Chains A and B, each alone.
Chain A
Amino acid sequence: MKNNTFKKLLTAALALTMTASLAACGSTGAASSAASAGASAAASGAASDAHYTIGLAQYGEHASLDNCREGFLQGLTDSGLLTADNITLDYQNAQFDDSIDTQIAQSFSAENCDLMVGIATPSAIACYAAAEDKNIPVIFTAVTDPEAANLTAGNCTGTSDKLPVEAQLDLIRQMQPDAKTIGIIYTTSEPNSVSAIAEYKEKAGDYGFTIDEIGVTAQSEVTQAADKLIADKVDCLSNLTDNNVVGVLSSILEKTNEAGIPVYGSEVEQVKIGCVAAAGIDYYQLGIQTGIMAAKILTGATTCDDTPFETISEYGIYVNSEALAAMNITVPDEIAAKAIESTEA
């Protein structure tokens, strides 16, 4: 506990030094400009010799979460407030195991990290629980519904990866003007998917669709669910950010390609592996946004209390022309103009 007090004193001292050095840089009202200052001012001031330890807990490994992490690290330095020399990163991956997640977060707390980062909801919750004692700031990302996960109070903020459901429905309508039914497979225990399904069903009518959804409990059931949807003759499939389903997306695509049913993704990686298109998130960008946020909090430019969680407001439209051609879908000019081609490099 003594250690903790020292840390606080040290942090306070560092904050003072930083403010002083910023002031010395010459501008008036240095403190308020620290938050908004661009790279140049901050790089000379804050990124001096302050050193921070960041504990980063990632729930498991798949492309979206990995992109999130890489984006986050990019964002830290993009912020201009930190350089690689300022940071010691303790990266841990829980391999989708909740109890390991707990232990990871507790070890971050034990080593008195300056900041904990939780990628995906279970990791965010574990970090938040472990930080309760010491009031270590927690930054989350790839959390769909921070409010439902009770991550909005306390020393905690971050970014949400809520899906742009309406944008996706609009995209599908424009790509397939005659389509009636959208099939969706989701895992009943993933809250992100459950809330997305609810929104899909609520808004599908506005775009003239009905949703044919199948809930599964395990990854092994996903391909059976795909068979069922194909047998139901749905006009297309729309994919969520469901961890279980994304994990076996390739095998779903194998089946749907054979049946000639287009599959829409929810983020860029899914389009890369063969979905026709997506109105979705770029997790790398989400990570960068989170990293910048974290850098500001870490350097004391702002606090979690003053930083409400953010959602990406600009969604990308991603297309895979190869997959589109195979499904005989012509992209309307309006979409083609803003779409980003995303095929496997």
Chain B
Amino acid sequence: MLDLIVSTLTQGLIYALISFGVYITYTILDFPDLGVDGSFPLGAAVTAVMLVAGANPYLTLLAAIAAGALSGLATGIIHVKLHVRNLLAGIITQTALFSINLQIAGSNLTVDRSSDTIFTAAPTMALFGGLSLLARKLAVTLVVVVVVKLVLDAYFRTKSGLLLRAVGDNSTLVTTLAKNMGNMKILGLMISNALVALAGCIVCHEQRSFSATMGTGQLVFGLATVIIGITLFRRLSFVKGTTAVIVGSVLYKACIQVAISVGLPANLLKLITAALFLLVLVCSGRKGEEIIHA
């Protein structure tokens, strides 16, 4: 049972990086970025290729972040400079990335068990060597997610961070301040996609594999976790958005785990998962409709 809690928590935390990304684009910028479904596997593709080539596993984190930022830049330029509607801009990037990802990785790719990952490399072992692999995965993921969260929180308090938050809420303010709103959007998309690709990178370390289709449905996942998280904590104003979405992500993964563990008929898995989300939303006292327009 403890093992199950640890692995579910690990999954929730890894995917919380996607939630961060979607939180920035959707909640802050009001931009439903479908590019997420492409930048998630992009991070994994870059990571898989590097690990197979024997690169330093920690370097893959940076490479994935950079690759993700580039994909965000692409979506941003398509939307802001080429004036393509936001949904479509994301779709274009996502579609292009499907080919690009396969081009990078060749095909679906797995990493040999003898290659070191961020969970097995020497520096990690020096820190968490006493733990089982399962517990080490949780520890490393926790470190990454907490660091990312703190950096994001700190960034939101900077001038640039405040402007970014103004883009979605009060775009006139940004323009009055003589700042280019388009550039802020592009920046937001870059940060968001960088985080999503980082999630893909860690999933690749954890599963030792990249699959071209692993991105399918990740935006929907991100949206669900953001909405669950924000809704749960909407009355508790001292809880930061970043904390809320971590909880959302862990809850989402826990729902799926419950559905798996109680041995529901395979065909019903998604239906039950949907029902569980609805339950969470309803119990937190708000209807989905209001949440989306909040």
Question: What is A's interface to B at a CB cutoff of 8 Å?
Answer: 1, 58, 61, 90-93, 95-100, 102-104, 106-107, 109-112, 121-122, 125-126, 128-130, 132-133, 148-151, 153-154, 188-191, 194, 217
Q: Judging by beta carbons under 8 Å apart, are A125 and B208 in contact?
A: yes
Given contacts A102-B207, A107-B260, A189-B102, contact A125 B7 (CB under 8 A): no
Q: Judging by beta carbons under 8 Å apart, are B132 and A95 in contact?
A: no
Tell me which of B99, B221, B260 has the highest count of chain A C-beta atoms within 10 A of its own C-beta. Answer: B260
Given contacts A99-B15, A107-B260, A188-B102, contact A129 B107 (CB under 8 A): no
Q: Judging by beta carbons under 8 Å apart, are B113 and A107 in contact?
A: no
Bound-complex Cα distance A118 to B182 (A) = 47
The contact of A109 among B1, B7, B98, B108, by CB within 8 Å, is B7
Task: Looking at the assembled complex, report how far the CB atom of A246 sits from the nearest CB atom of chain B, in whole angstroms.
Answer: 15
Q: How many chain B residues have a CB neighbour from A under 8 Å?
A: 42
User: B188-230: contact bitstring with A at CB < 8 Å (1 yes, 0 no)?
Assistant: 0000000000000001001111011110110001000000000
Count CB-based A-B contacts (< 8 Å): 106
Bound-complex Cα distance A327 to B275 (A) = 49
Bound-complex Cα distance A148 to B216 (A) = 23
Q: Judging by beta carbons under 8 Å apart, are A150 and B3 in contact?
A: no
Q: Judging by beta carbons under 8 Å apart, are B113 and A106 in contact?
A: no
Closest to B134 in A: A133
Q: Judging by beta carbons under 8 Å apart, are A150 and B132 in contact?
A: no
Q: Judging by beta carbons under 8 Å apart, are B257 and A107 in contact?
A: yes
- Contact partners of B107 in chain A: CB under 8 A: 189, 191, 194
Bound-complex Cα distance A302 to B208 (A) = 27
- Contact partners of A148 in chain B: CB under 8 A: 110
**Interface majority SS on A: helix, strand, loop or mixed?**
mixed
Given A151-B110, A189-B102, 17 more contacts at CB 8 Å? A91-B266, A97-B216, A98-B213, A99-B203, A100-B269, A102-B203, A103-B253, A106-B11, A110-B4, A121-B108, A125-B110, A133-B133, A149-B110, A150-B110, A150-B112, A153-B114, A191-B107
- Contact partners of A97 in chain B: CB under 8 A: 216-217
Q: Judging by beta carbons under 8 Å apart, are A99 and B214 in contact?
A: yes
The contact of B4 among A111, A129, A189, A217, by CB within 8 Å, is A111
Bound-complex Cα distance A189 to B45 (A) = 12
Tell me which of B102, B134, B263 has the highest count of chain A C-beta atoms within 10 A of its own C-beta. Answer: B134
Q: Judging by beta carbons under 8 Å apart, are A104 and B98 in contact?
A: no
Q: Judging by beta carbons under 8 Å apart, are A189 and B212 in contact?
A: yes
- Contact partners of B203 in chain A: CB under 8 A: 99, 102
Bound-complex Cα distance A194 to B107 (A) = 8
- Contact partners of B158 in chain A: CB under 8 A: none
A-B contacts, 8 listed (Cβ < 8 Å): A93-B269, A97-B217, A104-B260, A125-B208, A130-B7, A133-B133, A189-B108, A191-B108
- Contact partners of A90 in chain B: CB under 8 A: 263
Give residues of chain B (108-125) contacting chain A, Cβ–Cβ below 8 Å: 108, 110-114
Bound-complex Cα distance A112 to B132 (A) = 15
Task: Looking at the assembled complex, report how far the CB atom of B2 sits from the nearest CB atom of chain A, in whole angstroms.
Answer: 8
Check if B8 is an interface residue, CB within 8 A of chain A.
Answer: yes
Q: Judging by beta carbons under 8 Å apart, are A98 and B211 in contact?
A: yes
